[in-house]
Amino acid sequence: MTVQLLAYIGVMAGVTYLVRMLPFVIFRKKIKSRFVKDFLYYVPYAVLGAMTIPAVLYSTGSIISAAAGLLAAVLLAFKDKGLLAVAAAACIAAFAVEMIMKYCI
Amino acid sequence: MQSDKLGFKEGLTDGIPIGLGYLSVSFSFGIAAVSQGLPWLTATIISMTNLTSAGQVAGLSIIAAAGTLLEMALAQLIINMRYALMSLSLSQKLDSSFTAPHRFLAAFGITDEIFAVASGKPKEVTPKYMYGLILLPFLCWSAGTLLGGIAGSILPETLCSALGIAIYGMFIAIFVPPARKSMGVLVTVAISAGMSCCLRYIPLFSHVSSGFSIIICTLAAAAAGATFFPRKEADAQ
């Protein structure tokens, strides 16, 4: 590896680590503000919503198989199934639809 | 007492679906890196030291275009700024055994998915749980990149692409059950998802990167949730 490449990787890794580490290490006290507490409570759900919709529709070979996977995942999640079960159902549904589209249509 | 706390094994189990999802993503990162002219070893080192998808992909294009180090730093800062929000959020539910050395170490492994699973836990998070949770995703992320870089293509394409939805299935399993029970969570997710669609499909916003889009949607939706659906005193413990 060249020095230049090492410098790129060093900067990449360094900045990414600092962004993760500083808030994690600095905030040692429990936050008192109601608004900030509620805001932070909603952050994960907001992140997940933004990351999942609409990206999930482009996560497989076609929007149709992705929609099938999404439907399967929502149905199982609605029934309070666990992470692995829901993820597996989404993969199986998407794979099944891709197979059907490939060989039956 | 001890058995009430989240342990290494539970973390390891929770990390399985994340690791599976990471395999296919990092595999395609490995392919992309090699196709941009990076050696497979370099691609693997990037994955082992960064452990993030969007930032690494952006980093690849900056390296390929021989961009400046300042550009690299700014791009990583903006794309990965969401991790600062997540670290801040997660720092609020750490067990008292989470001392400074543990924080320095575990902070490295905070990704979208690991954060989501850890913060979805009803109990306070211990260092052992975090290390268990991070281990498989880290190994899968590194190994996937290595395999992708060396082999180019091992799995049949259909199988590979079907695995791509695994991560999203997991996300859905995390936010659907609480959204059914809490109007605040439902509205927050809806606002965030709606804004995310706007940023993606409205041509005016086409220059907004995916990392920055997540920041904007998160800030706006979580602020709306906290403003219009403040939790009752008893729930906010």
List the one residue out of B31, A102, A79 whose CA is nearest residue A94. A102
Residues A74, A52, single domain; the answer is: yes
d(CA A88, CA B4): 29
Residues A23, A68, single domain; the answer is: no
Collect all residues of chain B within an 8 Å Cβ-Cβ radius of residue A45. 175, 178-179, 185, 188-189, 192, 221-222, 225
The pair of structure tokens assigned to B78 is: 């903006």
Residues A44, A6, single domain; the answer is: no
> For position B236, what pLDDT does the model report?
52
Specify the length of chain A in residues: 105
CB contact under 8 A, A45 and B192: yes
CB contact under 8 A, B165 and A70: yes
d(CA B126, CA B118): 10
A-B contacts (CB, under 8 Å)? 303
Residues A25, A49, single domain; the answer is: no
Range in A10-19, A65-74, B114-123 with the lowest mean pLDDT: B114-123
Q: How many domains does chain A have?
A: 2
Residues A63, A97, single domain; the answer is: yes
Collect all residues of chain A within an 8 Å Cβ-Cβ radius of residue B163. 91
| CA of B156 vs chain A CAs: smallest distance (Å) | 12
d(CA B84, CA B65): 28
> For position B215, what pLDDT does the model report?
76
B58 Cβ contact list (under 8 Å, min separation 6): B75, B76, B79, B209, B211
d(CA B151, CA B36): 15
Q: Output Rg (C-alpha) for chain A, integer angstroms.
A: 21
Residues A70, A19, single domain; the answer is: no
d(CA A13, CA A9): 6
Among chain A residues, the shortest Cα distance to B45 is held by: A9
> For position B152, what pLDDT does the model report?
53
CB contact under 8 A, A27 and B91: yes
Residues A26, A43, single domain; the answer is: no
Is residue A63 less than 8 Å (CB to CB) from chain B?
Answer: no
Residues A70, A99, single domain; the answer is: yes
pLDDT digits (tens, 9 = 90+) for A46-63: 888 988 899 889 878 899
> For position B237, what pLDDT does the model report?
44
pLDDT in tens, chain B (237 residues): 445 888 999 999 999 989 988 887 788 778 768 777 788 899 999 999 999 987 787 788 788 878 889 888 887 887 787 788 889 889 988 998 999 999 999 999 999 889 989 988 888 999 999 999 999 999 999 999 999 888 654 556 676 667 767 778 878 988 999 999 999 999 999 999 999 999 999 999 988 766 667 778 888 999 999 999 999 865 554
For residue B118, with 0-12 CB atoms within 10 Å meaning exposed, 13-18 middle and 19 or more buried, which class applies?
A: buried
Q: Residue A79 CB: number of other CB atoms within 10 A?
A: 11
Output the 3-class SS for B49-65: HHCCHHHHHHHHHHHHC
Nearest to A90 among B169, B190, B231 (CB): B169
Report yes or no: B93 and B124 within 8 Å, Cβ to Cβ: yes
By residue range, what is the domain housing residue A15? Answer: 1-30
